[in-house]
Amino acid sequence: MKERALRDKEQQLQAVLDMSQAGILMTSGNSWTISYANKRIAEILGSSPGALAGSAFINSVHPAEIESVQIEMHMLVTGEAEQIDSERRLVRKDGSEFKGRLVAQALLRGDGSLQGVMVTIIDNTKLLEAEQALNIIENNYWEIFNATNDAVFVHDAYTGAIVEANRAVEKIYGYSREEIFILNVNDLSSGDSPYSLREAIRWIRKAYEVGPQSFEWLGRKKNGDLFWAEVSLTSSHIGGEGRVLAVVRDISDRKEIEQKLQFLSSHDTLTGLYNRSHFEAEFERIVKTQKFPVTAIVADLDGLKQVNDTHGHEAGDHLIKCAAEILSKVFRADDVVARIGGDEFAVLLFETDQNLSAELMARVREAERLFNFKSFSAQVRMSLGGATAFNSAEIATLFSEADKRMYENKISYKQTGNLLSDFTPQISADLIEEDVETT
């Protein structure tokens, strides 16, 4: 009965060992001879359990490792060590090499004598291949991360703290890598709402909690220069932590082009004043705001046709620019001063009554006088007319009334004045430019 029970236990043990995912073998006594090998060790070594039984275990160890393994096995046999656990180069039956984890433990009888050694081998080939692949991916990631021309930040999802940054951050912002990690988003922004730390953290949290976000941002470099950037935020989990990836692209050149196009769409190319379409749009906007009284002043440049016919269009353009410069110096920056035709100008003033408009037209006359006194190349005179609307009902006739008064002024001047008879366009271009600068 005892022998049968012993055989049953041996069979159960062998079944367990055969089912193990680890390769297991046993050696007899203190020799290297394999007395037992399970299926997994046979697969790892490219053999069969039957072929391994009776062979020397040391044959499966790479020659370069044999001496080290012999020393460790000797320590088990002599009782100097209870177990050895090390990474070793091993050899399959076909001669191919692989790296494996070798764990060996002495098997003792009841009287303490050595029965044999149990060796467990775990093939680390796939693990090492996975680690190598991971290293390649990680190296590629860092190469891509640092190769892009866009600045890339990794932020903490809730505090906005900078936890990682690529090399482009140093190039774009002018900070060293060591400095970047002691800064916050506010240090890299204009700092004024809506480009401050508070708004930045709000964007970062929104990206993490809601989804990807894209927007324009006013950044600041180490030297204090401000620049426009396009920012794209994407949430991620890195190392088990909530992170937000920020890609920052410098769009200063694009912004400059947009601003130039916007300027050209709303300004007269010759004078730099607003053009007719912008003037009309501003008039509609001001009317809707109901900021009465609203005053319109119209100006017609006298004698332009005479100058064009006598001295050419270049001289006429110079006269137009001189008139525009006079108007620009008289009126405020927030007043809408426009060239609405070849020799026609208009000014729109809100919350301005007829008394103030009369004072402003008097200033235009004084500016004309000073310009003509200093001028070497042109004499400027504009016919002026102004009208004021105190309510919505009077808006419809505002410009017709201003035009009427402007023509009355022109007729009066024709009857008493001499239109630009002193115009002398032969003067040099430098002095023509000086006329504008000295008004």
What's residue 208's pLDDT?
A: 93
Cα–Cα nearest to 52, from 141, 137, 121, 130:
121
What's residue 434's pLDDT?
A: 46
What's residue 428's pLDDT?
A: 34
Q: How far apart are alpha carbons 219 and 197 in whole angstroms?
A: 12
Q: How far apart are alpha carbons 272 and 260 in whole angstroms?
A: 12
Q: Are 151 and 162 in contact (CB under 8 A)?
A: no
Neighbouring-strand partners of residue 108: 114
What's residue 179's pLDDT?
A: 93
What's residue 296's pLDDT?
A: 93
CA distance readout (Å), 110 to 83, 113, 114, 115: 18, 7, 9, 10
pLDDT < 70 stretches in the chain? 1-21, 30, 126-147, 239, 377, 417-439
Instruction: Provide CB contacts within 8 A for 167, sequence distance 6+.
Output: 146, 177
Q: How far apart are alpha carbons 162 and 183 in whole angstroms?
A: 8
Domain 267-437: CATH superfamily is: Reverse transcriptase/Diguanylate cyclase domain (3.30.70.270)
Asked if 2-124 and 148-253 have one fold, the answer is: yes
Tell me the fold of 148-253. Beta-Lactamase (3.30.450)
Q: How far apart are alpha carbons 401 and 297 in whole angstroms?
A: 10
What's residue 16's pLDDT?
A: 47
What's residue 419's pLDDT?
A: 46
CATH code given to domain 2-124: 3.30.450.20
What's residue 348's pLDDT?
A: 92
What's residue 439's pLDDT?
A: 40
Cα–Cα nearest to 25, from 59, 1, 49, 46:
49
Domains of the chain by residue range: 2-124, 148-253, 267-437
Name the token pair of 63: 């020659």
What's residue 194's pLDDT?
A: 93
What's residue 145's pLDDT?
A: 61
Neighbouring-strand partners of residue 250: 229
- Cis omega (within 30 of 0) on the bond before 49? no
What's residue 215's pLDDT?
A: 95
Q: Dihedrals φ, ψ of 355, to 5°?
A: -65, -45
